[in-house]
Amino acid sequence: MATFGSEKQANIVGGDIQNEGPGPEIMAADTLEGDDVVNTRGEDLGNIKDIMIDVPSGRVAYAVLSSGGFLGLGDKLFAIPWSALTLDADRKCFILDVEKDHLKNAPGFDKDHWPSMADPTWANEVHSFYGQKGYWRGQTEQSNPSSTLGSTDRTEIGPDDV
């Protein structure tokens, strides 16, 4: 498996890594949407609704897990740190090492009220809940996500610039 950095990202198990074309190491985000998420006991936790990208860093930040409800109605959404997931390429699902009852206490949201995912306090809470180090933290920066998360240099582009 190719490794381009020291920071932990999602693990991959199974699958033919010698196949032609994309996957399982590089895949289109929309091919992962709808994939089931199970825990290590094989219990169904829900499915992937969205993949959230940290645009300035170019990294996958979270997978949004949809759990409960029926046909998208009444479901609760959870931002799962990408590093907390393992892709099972053979079963075409993700594995999240969390008990089903523990997930009920996870920071969640509904489809009409998304959190500010660039907020350092929220991000630390979510990563801490899943026992993960924040993806934005460098080797020497251990506890201040606000210096890299949520602070982006933006260039204003006017209609004449496009």
Structure pTM? Answer: 0.75
pLDDT of residue 113: 93
Which of the four pLDDT bands, split at 50, 70 and 90, describes residue 125? very high
Domain residue extents for the chain: 11-151
Which of the four pLDDT bands, split at 50, 70 and 90, describes residue 137? confident
78 closest CA partner among 127, 32, 148: 127
Do 94 and 87 touch, CB atoms closer than 8 A? yes
pLDDT digit string, tens, across residues 99-111: 999 998 999 999 8
pLDDT digit string, tens, across residues 6-59: 455 677 777 665 566 666 677 788 888 999 999 999 999 999 999 999 998 889
Which of the four pLDDT bands, split at 50, 70 and 90, describes residue 135? confident
Give the separation between CA 54 and CA 143, rounded to whole angstroms: 18
123's enclosing H/E stretch is helix 120-129
Q: What is the DSSP letter of 126?
A: H
Strands 76-81 and 108-109: antiparallel
Q: What CATH number matches the domain at 11-151, 3.40.630.30, 1.10.10.10, 1.10.274.10, 2.30.30.240?
A: 2.30.30.240
